[in-house]
Amino acid sequence: MEETKIICIGCPKGCNIAISHEGKTIENIDGYGCKNGLDYAQNEFTAPKRTVTSTVRIKSGELPVISVKTRDAILKNKIFECMFEINKIEIEAPIKLGTVIKANIAQTGVDLISTETIDRI
């Protein structure tokens, strides 16, 4: 049996979690201090996800770029594909907070949204 150790980021406690497994099959999880820790360990081991944050070029705006993020976390193995698509985007001002910049970014089922408002100049 193998063991993978992770530090939980589900709450401020930062529990040291040990996942005992055979290949990708979890046999036991120890060291979590709450249900969030258990859920985090299971998800992080089987299908790790991350929220992607970045910027997109904007034309005619008060600033040259606007901050964006994925509405929800995406699978970790899709991050580079997501960033490749983000780097090709250029939008026109004005943009309001929460505007969908690209629906279904990188075929993840998750939208890319603006995290600020940029007015037109």
Residue numbers of the domain that contains 59: 53-114
* Domain count across the chain: 2
Q: What is the pLDDT of residues 38-65, one digit of tens each?
A: 999 999 999 999 999 999 999 999 999 9
Q: What is the pLDDT of residues 79-119, one digit of tens each?
A: 999 999 999 999 999 999 999 999 999 999 999 999 999 99
Q: What pTM, to 2 d.p., does this model score?
A: 0.84
CATH number of the domain where residue 103 is located: 3.10.530.10
**Residues in Cβ contact with 117 at an 8 Å cutoff, skipping those fewer than 6 apart:** 94, 95, 96, 97
Residue 75: name the closest of 47, 105, 109 by CA: 47
- Grouping H, G, I as helix, E, B as strand and the rest as coil, residue 72 is coil
77 in the same domain as 34 = no
